[in-house]
Amino acid sequence: MTKPRVLVLYYSQTGQLRNIIDNILLDIKDKLEITYAPIEPVTPFPFPWNPDVFFDAMPETVMHTPPPVKSLPDEIVNAEYDLVIFGHQPWFLNPSMPITAFLQSPSAKVLVNKKVITVIGARNMWLHAQEKIKQYLLKLNATLVGNIALVDTKPNIISTLTVIRWAMKGQKEASGILPDAGVQKADIEKAQRYGMPIYRHLEDNKLESLQQELVLLGAIQLKPGLVLLENTGISNFRKWSKYIAAKGGPGAPERQGRVKQFKNLLIVAIFILSPITSLIAKIREQVKMKKLKDDVAYFKQLKFEEGRL
């Protein structure tokens, strides 16, 4: 009996997303013929990040004008697959630059007419990034058949502090009063439970009903308030990206003044305004509960509707 052919296409800077995908595949990897295709920027992004480079990466991430990634080998691009597992992560509320660079590159044709499960490893704000991925997949005539999103479930302010420590110092481990950064280890290990349902739906040729089962297993946990926070964040990032890019391209000395303004504003927004915005979000949450419940249901399924975020 021939094994189903699966392409695992992903980018992972620290290895967290690769680790998540490996756990999802743990129980089924021997039943599949798997090809791994890591997406690699021509010039790797630094890790740990220098703070100036980190904030300078915002405009091109938000505008989807990333630096190039390496092409995939022809034998990978031209092969047939029964399923693609596509791992992506948000940067500044959009797909990370290596992911958008890949989706705009000739190698993206590997996704044409394919069935795709997206796997996300984020801090906690991935909704807008996934909306963008849905649009790229539609253009490639690919069909989204599943989405699994793993997030850091710690309170927003804690996960912000630990992700900054992780990105700027490379330190994932707990220190002082702060816990480990990133998706909790136990949640990464428990991702193993998604493997068998994926395999069964693939074998039975019933991938169109997979997402319902994944959601029942907890593949998407969403706090309604985050929909509101993402909305505010996106419109601000869009304005700031245009304002910064008007002064020059990535790293241009002329734009560093504006990058610093953005960095300072973000720090103020996170640490001073965040408690206030959270409170306002909580109030708006009560007022808009019906709409937000509808949003949560929308983000658990796979269809794309213009203007949701």
Tokens 């007022």 belong to residue: 287
Phi, psi of 214 (to 5 degrees): -60, -45
> Least Å distance between CB 256 and ligand FMN?
17
CB 84 within 8 A of CB 107: no
Closest to ligand FMN by CB, 60 vs 82, is: 60
Q: Which residues bind ligand FMN (CB under 6 A)?
A: 12-14, 16-17, 54, 57, 89-93, 121-126, 163, 167
Q: Which two tokens stand for residue 260?
A: 């610093």
> Least Å distance between CB 80 and ligand FMN?
28
Closest to ligand FMN by CB, 88 vs 201, is: 88
Phi, psi of 239 (to 5 degrees): -65, -45
CB 77 within 8 A of CB 110: yes
Quote the CA–CA distance of 255 and 273 in Å, as a whole number: 25
- H-run or E-run covering 146: strand 143-150
- The helices-and-strands tally (H runs, E runs) of the chain is 14, 7
> Least Å distance between CB 196 and ligand FMN?
24
Residue 213: partners with Cβ closer than 8 Å, 6 or more residues away? 197, 201
> Least Å distance between CB 158 and ligand FMN?
13
Quote the CA–CA distance of 176 and 257 in Å, as a whole number: 33
> Least Å distance between CB 202 and ligand FMN?
24
Quote the CA–CA distance of 22 and 273 in Å, as a whole number: 38
3-state DSSP assignment of residue 65: coil
> Least Å distance between CB 122 and ligand FMN?
3
> Least Å distance between CB 4 and ligand FMN?
25
3-state DSSP assignment of residue 114: coil
Separation of CA 217 from chain center: 20
Quote the CA–CA distance of 186 and 98 in Å, as a whole number: 27
